[in-house]
Structures are given as C-alpha cells and as structure tokens.
Amino acid sequence: MKTPWLSWLLLLLAYMTYGRFLHSLEVATYVWVLSGVFAIALASILTIFWGPFRRMLLLGFQSDAGYSIMVLVLASLSVVAVVQFHLFAYILVLAAVSLLARVDTLLLDLGGLLSFLVLAGFPFLGLGIGWWLP
C-alpha cells in the first residue's frame, strides 16, 4: 500500500504558506478562526457531506432559478477575485490541494472519517506551523 505523501505534503505546505501570509499581515484572531472553519468546512464537504453537496449542486443546474443563483455566485466570486486577488488565489490553491489529497485518500480507500481527519488535520498543522515560524 502506497502512502500519498506527496499530496499530503502539498496540503501541509499550502496551509503553511497561507498561515505565513496571515501572520505577515498581522490579522485579527477572528481571521485565524475563519481560516480554521474554512479548513473544517472544506474537509467536511469533500468527505462526509460529499453526497448531499453533489446532489444539491446538480439540482442547481436543473432549473432556471438554480442557473440564476449559480450566475450570481460566480459573479460575486469574480468581484472578489479582482478586488482581493491574493486571498482568492490562496483559497483557490487550498481548494485544489484539498481535492488532490481527497482523490489520493479515495484511491487508498481510507473511508469517510479517516479521510476527514487527514483533510482537517494537515491544514491545522500547516496553519499552526505557518503562524509559529518567524
């Protein structure tokens, strides 16, 4: 059985870099808390709540109201991408690395709970190291 050490290392490094970014900006405590909530939410959506999330997303594409909501969300994200490019780029990288790690945990057949622990543990470790390093 091979361990997906590369994707887990990328997950750790991405969150370490994001933690350093937050630390260099000297942000308030609530931003660190929101970053932790984001990591937990992303891990939850990719593992435990994947089925309901996928059904809700696919249901959104089956109606005109769903299309309208998707367009409004994408337009809002485009504004955030233009105004806060650094933050948007970090969030995009964190989501991509989390997806890569999730694919590797699926290939290992780790199960929902263990995959959640991996996808939530490495981000918290990375944020902690990013905050702690000078």
Which of the four pLDDT bands, split at 50, 70 and 90, describes residue 2? confident
- For the chain, how big is the Rg over CA atoms in Å? 16
Total number of domains constituting the chain: 1
Contacts of 5 (CB under 8 A, 6+ apart): none
Which of the four pLDDT bands, split at 50, 70 and 90, describes residue 23? very high
Domain of 126 in residue numbering reads as 5-132
pLDDT for 31 beyond 80? yes
The CA–CA distances, whole Å, from 124 to 16, 24, 32, 46, 70 equal 9, 18, 10, 16, 30
The CA–CA distances, whole Å, from 47 to 35, 40, 71, 73, 109 equal 18, 11, 26, 23, 12
Predicted confidence at residue 1, as pLDDT, reads 58
Torsion of CA 43, 46, 49, 52, to 10 degrees: 150
77-130 pLDDT tens trace: 888 888 888 888 898 899 999 999 999 888 888 888 888 998 999 999 999 999
33-75 pLDDT tens trace: 999 999 999 999 888 888 888 887 777 778 788 788 888 888 9
